[in-house]
Homo-oligomer: A and B are copies of this chain.
């Protein structure tokens, strides 16, 4: 059996984070799965708002296109805002899964309500909109932000990680929820340890999304090419976006 090749796209340009995410993806992958961790050659070093997301979405599209040329069978968008998710699905034939989406879906299968712990307060609205779009507004008990930028998770000090830990403990005490969703791809490495320390599921979306893609491929399910996720209509794309043709 040929290995299953899954492309895990870090939508920002920080390679250390691509590494973190790649590790988490590999740790979650099944024996026969190969992880191709990539990031766009240009864009933003971290995604902390709507404009960052808009830029990152282009990087995601480029990578999805490239991934298809390389024969990957599925794609993970490894940023908690799931930037460019529906656009990427139009370009892909295999499944495309976002890490926010994957973590939220799985959270509803192990608990009746979950909490989210993310980085900056300004990204909370992005999570809120995703909850609404995916149908999980009523399943989320509370959203927390540690008020640190995304790249603080990569500064080696462990300070951001410690804040995440404390917020998770606080969420456990106060929210009345049964699981916690980690709201940033850069937190992926913390899930197992926190699950153990808290005694409740703490869910990382990177691993979750890898499993979702593996599952969909195994079931013979790709992105629907019938209806509104069909390949984009052919048209002349110009300028810096030509390669998306």
Residues of A within 8 A of B (CB): 13, 28, 30-32, 41-46, 48-55, 57-58, 61, 84, 86-91, 95, 97, 101, 105-106, 108-113, 120-125, 129, 132-139, 149, 172, 176-179, 191-192, 195, 198-201, 203-204, 207-208, 211-212, 214-216, 218-230, 232-233, 235-241, 244
**What are the nearest 8 A-B pairs in CB distance?**
A42-B239, A135-B135, A211-B215, A178-B224, A178-B227, A200-B226, A50-B86, A240-B240
Which residue from B31, B106, B135 sits with its C-beta under 8 Å from A136?
Answer: B135
Please, which residues of chain B bring their CB within 8 A of the CB of A61? 51, 54-55
With contacts A106-B216, A220-B195 taken as known, whether A237 is within 8 angstroms of B207 at the C-beta atoms is no
- Would you call B30 and A30 a contact (CB within 8 A)? yes
Query: Which chain B residue lies CB-closest to A211?
Result: B215
- Would you call A229 and B178 a contact (CB within 8 A)? yes
Copies in the complex: 6
26 contacts between A and B (CB under 8 A): A31-B31, A42-B238, A43-B241, A50-B87, A51-B232, A52-B235, A54-B84, A55-B58, A55-B241, A86-B112, A95-B109, A106-B212, A106-B219, A108-B134, A109-B216, A111-B224, A129-B133, A132-B132, A135-B135, A135-B139, A178-B226, A192-B220, A201-B224, A204-B219, A208-B219, A211-B218
- Would you call A221 and B240 a contact (CB within 8 A)? no
- Would you call A110 and B135 a contact (CB within 8 A)? no
With contacts A90-B49, A109-B95 taken as known, whether A200 is within 8 angstroms of B225 at the C-beta atoms is yes
